[in-house]
Structure 1
Amino acid sequence: MIKRAVDVIAAAVLLVATAPIQVVVALLVRRRLGSPVLFRQVRPGLHGELFTLVKFRTMRLAEPGEGLASDADRMTSLGRVLRSSSLDELPTLVNVLRGDMSLVGPRPLLPEYLGRYTSEQARRHEVRPGVTGLAQVSGRNAVSWDDRLKLDVRYVDTHTLLLDAMILGATVSRVLRRDGVVAEGSATMPEFRGRAQ
């Protein structure tokens, strides 16, 4: 209950404080990428229940006949700046207010991954997903999938308000340094293929 109260208060304060920045980002996305300004995608949350994640759009839409299929093809210079600075994540604070997410927790991944996790990896859904998490401050997208999911489960087993505060502080440092934004050889993060149980 305390964690949820902190999430609500902090998310509300951050939404108000970052409102001018979000307006500027929205205008830039609208001018450079057109509509829609926001990217919405279904993700699994607590206990694997689906919710709609909201972020600023960073990629061009795949148009028929243009051959823009991969993330690398669709990524824009503005998108790279927004991702490296995590400004694209600001609308996700609305998900925190709604209760879909927490400020800190395992990052929500794709629904199609649900059937690819081992029983141990699937434990990442025992807590609300987070805007940031232990895996993100341990290397963001540069961390391998195995290590990333192990860190998610470690957070589930050890999370405290103190650990959350440490992760939030480390997140600020990571964002300012802009390291680990993408996995090597990928525009974002390669697909999680899973492994044998």
Structure 2
Amino acid sequence: MIKRLFDMVCSALGLLALAPLLLLAAVWIKLDSPGPALFRQTRVGRFGAPFTIHKFRTMRVEPGAAITVGADPRITRPGHFLRRTKLDELPQLWDVLRGAMSLVGPRPELPHYVDLYPADLRQRVLAVRPGITDPASLAFSHEAELLAAAADPEREYREVVLPAKLRLSAEYAAGARFSTDLKLILATLMRVLRD
């Protein structure tokens, strides 16, 4: 109850305070390349329910791989800045406000990756709302560069990165506390400012 109230208050205040920045980012994206300012994608949420996640669009609208590797040529000029500063994640405050996400929780995955989860970990990870940040997000904050160094990035993600992230997410879900969430939010803000 406290976590949900905290999520609602912080996301509402965040959206209000950041409205000018969100508007500027949306205009920059629209002026730079054709397509919508927001990227929408189906992800798997709490109890396995699908939901639509919102981010600022950082890539040109064209077919491509589900994962982004290193200096992907599809990334736009504003996209490079938005990804580096993590500002592309800000529209997820709307997803938090509407209850599909939390500020802190396991990052929501695409359905075909969730299908790879072992049953016991799947149940634990999907028992809580997905979040904007969590221990796995911090541990793999430079995931695109890591995958760029792999001979087969998709295989590396499925067989190495995803299982490691899943273990961290399951550990978080098993021992999630409000105090832990506050520490993770602070650690995330410090990481963004430092990077």
TM normalised by structure 1 equals 0.83
Looking at structure 2, the residues matched to 34 and 177 of structure 1 have their Cα atoms a distance apart, in angstroms, of 32
Letter in 1 for 2:127: E
> Which structure 2 residue ranges, 5 or more long, are not aligned?
147-160
Q: In structure 1, how many angstroms separate the alpha carbons of the residues matched to 2:126 and 2:191?
A: 24
Amino acid at match of 2:20: P
Q: How far apart, in 2, do the equivalents of 1:35 and 1:74 lie?
A: 13
Aligned to 1:137, the other structure's residue is in SS state helix
RMSD: 1.5
1:69 correspondence with 2:64: yes
Match of 1:54 in 2: 54
Q: Give secondary structure in 1 for the equivalent of 2:73.
A: helix
95-104 or 109-118: bigger deviation? 109-118
Query: For the residues of structure 2 that align with 1:111 and 1:145, how far apart are their CA atoms?
Result: 13
Question: 1:7: Cα distance to partner?
Answer: 0.3
Which residue type is aligned with residue 105 of structure 1?
G
Distance 1:120 1:73 in 2: 38
Q: Aligned residues: percent identity?
A: 41
How do 1:143-162 and structure 2 match up within 5 A?
144-162=161-179
Alpha-carbon distance between aligned partners in 2 of 1:129 and 1:33, rounded to the nearest angstrom: 30
Contact 1:40 1:52 (C-alpha < 8 Å) held by counterparts: yes
> How far has the Cα of 1:75 moved from its partner?
1.4
Residue in structure 1 matched with residue 158 of structure 2 by the alignment:
none
Task: Please state whether the residue corresponding to 2:191 is helix, strand or coil.
Answer: helix
Tell me what 1:191 maps to.
none
Give the alignment of 1:72-87 within 5 angstroms.
72-87=72-87
Residue equivalent to 2:88: 88
Deviation per residue, 1:75-125 (Å, 9 max, x gap): 123212101111111111110011000000001110111221112331211
Q: Which amino acid aligns with 2:49?
A: E
CA distance in 2, matches of 1:46, 1:164: 17
Residue of structure 2 in register with 1:186 after alignment: none
- Please report the TM-score for the alignment, with normalisation by the length of structure 2: 0.84
Deviation at 1:149, TM superposition (A): 1.0
Shift of 1:140: 2.1
5 Å-filtered alignment, 1:11-160, equals 11-62=11-62, 69-70=64-65, 71=68, 72-122=72-122, 123-142=124-143, 144-160=161-177
Q: Which moved more, 1:161-170 or 1:75-84?
A: 75-84
1:176 paired residue number: 193
Taking the aligned partners of 2:140 and 2:44, their CA distance within structure 1 comes to: 22
Q: State how many pairs are aligned.
A: 173
1:141, distance to aligned residue in structure 2 (A): 4.4
1:53, 1:30 → 2: CA distance?
Answer: 19
